[in-house]
Amino acid sequence: MMVKTQNAGIMVVALTPETQVDEVQGLFHLRRKEFGLTALVPGLPVQVKGSMNDNHQFIADTVKFKGSDLKMAEDIQAGLTPTAQQAQENEQQIGANSKKIAMDQQEIAANQTDILAANKRFGELGEYNILGEVTVYFGNGKTDVDPQYRPQLLALAQKAMTIDGYIIQVQGYASAVGSAALNQKLSMDRADNVLAFLEQDGRVPLTNVLAPGAMGTTDQVASNQSTEGQAENRRVVVRILQNKGIAGT
């Protein structure tokens, strides 16, 4: 996943099956509730702890967040508008979490000196080259990957493995038909199923995959006034990304 920090700009954080994702509870955050990686929706303020591996990838050991922040991020993804008071309260919470993230970054740097250099590298090289792309389309209300797209996804996975420092980005979308909550779930399920195929059949390591994005009805590429347009919006876009710094461009 991509994390925006106060000091280092955009930082790429690798998530693994061992990464612990928790919702912290209580005044001193002593209680926690475990979640899956799919809880890490875009816009969610998080506290990340981990270390750098030999391939200069920052591997997350733990990712923590507040339940109120998750509710806010999910509402935004579903197209819901919070009240002015809620927005102000969440802004304050986001500010507090941003300060906490900055403190954690300093703590990590104190324990491992090369992390700051890596963070700086990711911050300066926040833009990526797109070196491959496949779009998978879905039937109305469907989330399973149609067999016709599997050869394209396998070819994309094979190409990715020939690229130094590649990252796979998976973003799911839905047409603007039906409720916002349903479309949000459909976009997540579609992204999850495509990602599962890439990992299981394409042998793409989790450390090279960003957390799947449930984009809901954002970025509609065609009009929803026709069945053809709706079909174009029901999609998952898979991209091979390479940091421009690694590519030297």
Element housing 249 (H / E): none
Q: How far apart are CA 11 and CA 202, in angstroms?
A: 26
Fold of 127-247: 60s Ribosomal Protein L30; Chain: A; (3.30.1330)
Burial (0-12, 13-18, 19+ Cβ within 10 Å), 56? middle
The sign one gets for the Cα dihedral 152, 19, 246, 124 is positive
Every domain of the chain and the residues it spans: 2-122, 127-247
**DSSP state for residue 146 in the 8-state scheme:** P
pLDDT for the residue numbered 114: 44
Q: What are phi and psi of 143, to 5 degrees?
A: -130, -10
Q: How far apart are CA 186 and CA 137, in angstroms?
A: 12
What is the model's pTM? 0.55
Contacts of 200 (CB under 8 A, 6+ apart): none
Choose among 116, 155, 133: nearest CA to 242: 133
pLDDT string in tens for the chain (249-residue length): 777 776 656 778 888 888 888 887 765 555 667 777 777 878 788 888 888 887 777 888 888 888 788 778 777 766 654 555 566 666 667 666 666 666 655 655 554 444 344 444 444 435 788 999 999 999 999 999 999 999 999 999 999 999 988 999 999 999 998 888 899 999 999 999 999 999 999 999 988 988 888 888 888 999 999 999 999 999 999 999 988 777 666
Choose among 16, 25, 6, 8: nearest CA to 69: 25
